[in-house]
Amino acid sequence: MAGGKHSNDVAKKTELGLHTIEKSFNRKIEESVTKLHNGSLRSGNRIEFEGSIVVLGDINAGAEVIAEDNIIVLGAIRGLAHAGAKGNKRAIIAATSIEAPQIRIANIVKEIEKNDEEDEEGEETVKTKAYVEDKEIILE
């Protein structure tokens, strides 16, 4: 049983997410260890990494990508994307299109309403990048 307890302790120390953020900070994100995932993530799939994550495909609704640093997606984000999961507010999320109902950077959560994705003429705009500015997530 001691071996099982040890593996649970290790899992808790490496788990990423909002509940593990003790404080937020700003660390340069231009260079980080990066994990490459080839293919789309379906509902129920989850990737966590203590660095940046690049996904060559889509993050579909119900899928989760959680990175200590950046998340770059060569496809659409429709599921959960949480960059800076240890509290780094300089982390970014970039994708071909961000269509998720919610994104997270560090300890900041941004709910995305459908009307947030429309311009002045009522036409839908494609959001491709998210970053933190003045304690708020900016989508552009």
Average pLDDT in the chain: 84
Choose among 76, 124, 71: nearest CA to 100: 76
CATH of the domain at 96: 2.160.20.70
Whole-model pTM? 0.79
Domain of 56 in residue numbering reads as: 2-139
> What are 25-66's pLDDT values in tens digits?
666 767 889 999 999 999 999 999 999 999 999 999 999 999
pLDDT for 18 equals 63
Query: Using one digit for the tens of pLDDT, what is the confidence trace for 59-92?
Result: 999 999 999 999 999 999 999 999 999 899 999 9
Domain count, the chain: 1
